[in-house]
Structure 1
């Protein structure tokens, strides 16, 4: 083993158990590629290690995403390959010492087998249900229900006193250049060098004084002066528009997480409804029969069971959360 390398031994133990499960009953002569186009990358005592084995380990460690390519010439691939080889050696030695016959090992192997089978079932169900049509369908539903807020683009000149602000407004009313006055008189270092431009925003994200002043302001209007935490402000409304809806590609990861959780929840409700489950210790935390988040559920899935309505103001169970960034 590469003793000098730091290892996640929790993952290592899981991998050893998985390899022991796979090793039990394996036909050594059967060394066909597990996936079409798979590449043999190592052989350990006659057993082939495939590129897909290494990639699966990288996915399990959270180093790459499911479906993301992994170059067999990369350092990441080589490091994971070393780990897979090490774990195969550990698993083979465990079998040689007949550790798989130990009662504790049998229980852990059975648990590992159940988890693997459960994961495969979930993957199968999700792969069929969470498809492009389902993703586009939920996205279209979100867009129908969504409420688009009004965005305002404004410029500001910030000065130290009300009298200075009144003087600035008088000059602007007389036709003075906003850009020139912002550069000359504004005390706001963030905007004075770009003509006081605040960009596009919705009033709900602005300080209360700005929200009140801009509430009914029309395009082209001079607003103020009004007092803010940083001084006295004079604004000019440059433009007003409806905010852009979130794109399908931006919403896709959240939609996929939500649909995945929805499928896992429905599957568990169905399985629990058809099984006799008796809790022999403690008191149930939830309504009897209500499923808990499964080990097979994707990371963060539970957070999507009651998504935010920011995307479309739909009832919580209808859409995933989102928080689009303003441009």
Structure 2
């Protein structure tokens, strides 16, 4: 069960503001300073005269999504060493690019400036938005979402899967004679994933079960034996062990999702304020949108007149966000 409305999450995704880009951190020279950039930071490598700090590696791991913003990253771990090697390689590449003068080109300057803007935007988000997210704000959202959330019913069931209808009918006969469902599942079921646990499928809501199972279990009370009915894997016999209301996630389980939601909402509101105070002119019209930029590759020679030209490529619009559970 998702506590935060998926539409709110989807509409406010700003990865450009929330990612730290390694390219600029590698190209932005540290000048060889041995002063820790953060309290308690630790020097972990040196590329010529430039020190690499543990915080540099952690920041890159966060940018790649390998660890969360608040999660620790042990400097002795294999993950830390792998990311450290990537940071070293990137700095070596950046140094070589500088040696060849590639950073002086107009294209490089534009790309470096664009990445600098992304990082500054990220720092603004950290300063303005993240500072407003505290335990009280998280708990308020959690209580409200729990109050509004519609919980589904969960069903715990057991399965005996047979190859043929005749084998399934024989299973029904054994159960009618008083054989325990769990014992028959271990002896007769062909479903290797569940047979050794007595056919236990655990708790699940109907919408995540295969359609044939959901249809068979929909209105059956606890204690019912259902089947046999045909499925893609064979002939199934089910036993309904229990029915209960779905348990909402705890505050701690929901916290990461709520923090992301509050962050995205904060970014959205901040951008609305900035756009409201700034003059933004989009210099596009019907004619301009059909023109290619000056940097576009040269067009291929035109086809002979006898060969009809290919129809223009139509780029479909982005699909609407899929409602998440």
Taking structure 1 as the reference length, what is the TM-score of the superposition? 0.63
Q: CA RMSD in A?
A: 4.1
Indicate conservation of the 8 Å contact 2:182/2:199, yes or no: yes
Indicate conservation of the 8 Å contact 1:165/1:225, yes or no: yes
| CA offsets 1:294-322 (integer angstroms, 9 cap, x no match) | xxxxxxxxx9x968462xxxxxxxxxxxx
| SS of residue paired to 2:216 | helix
Would the alpha carbon gap of residues 191 and 84 (structure 1) be closer, same or farther in structure 2, given more than 3 Å must change? closer
Q: Which residue of 2 aligns with 1:79?
A: 85
| Structure 1, 222-231 or 136-145: larger mean CA deviation | 222-231
Would the alpha carbon gap of residues 113 and 226 (structure 1) be closer, same or farther in structure 2, given more than 3 Å must change? closer
| CA offsets 1:201-226 (integer angstroms, 9 cap, x no match) | 22233333332332221111222333
1:14 is aligned to 2:14? no
| CA offsets 1:233-276 (integer angstroms, 9 cap, x no match) | 33322222222222333333332222222111111111111111
1:274 is aligned to 2:277? yes
| SS of residue paired to 1:268 | helix
Instruction: State the distance in 2 between where 1:77 and 1:165 align.
Output: 54
Would the alpha carbon gap of residues 189 and 282 (structure 1) be closer, same or farther in structure 2, given more than 3 Å must change? same
Instruction: State the distance in 1 between where 2:164 and 2:53 align.
Output: 73
Q: Which residue of 1 aligns with 2:238?
A: 235
Would the alpha carbon gap of residues 168 and 38 (structure 1) be closer, same or farther in structure 2, given more than 3 Å must change? closer
Q: Greater relative contact order (Cα 8 A, min sep 6): structure 1 or 2?
A: 2
Would the alpha carbon gap of residues 306 and 141 (structure 1) be closer, same or farther in structure 2, given more than 3 Å must change? farther
Q: Which residue of 2 aligns with 1:293?
A: none
Instruction: State the distance in 2 between where 1:189 and 1:116 align.
Output: 51
Match runs of 1:6-155 below 5 Å: 13-15=23-25, 17-19=27-29, 33-39=36-42, 50-60=53-63, 64-72=67-75, 75-76=81-82, 79=85, 82=88, 86=92, 110-155=113-158
Indicate conservation of the 8 Å contact 1:58/1:80, yes or no: no
| SS of residue paired to 1:259 | helix
Return the offset for 1:121.
Answer: 1.0
Return the offset for 1:12.
Answer: 6.7
Structure 1: segments with no counterpart, 5+ residues? 1-10, 284-302, 311-327
Indicate conservation of the 8 Å contact 2:47/2:92, yes or no: no
Partner of residue 178 from structure 2, selected from 175, 179, 191? 175
Indicate conservation of the 8 Å contact 1:38/1:51, yes or no: yes
Instruction: State the distance in 2 between where 1:56 and 1:155 align.
Output: 47
Indicate conservation of the 8 Å contact 1:126/1:260, yes or no: yes
1:217 is aligned to 2:220? yes
| SS of residue paired to 1:114 | helix
Taking structure 2 as the reference length, what is the TM-score of the superposition? 0.64
Structure 2: segments with no counterpart, 5+ residues? 1-20, 287-317
Indicate conservation of the 8 Å contact 1:153/1:199, yes or no: yes
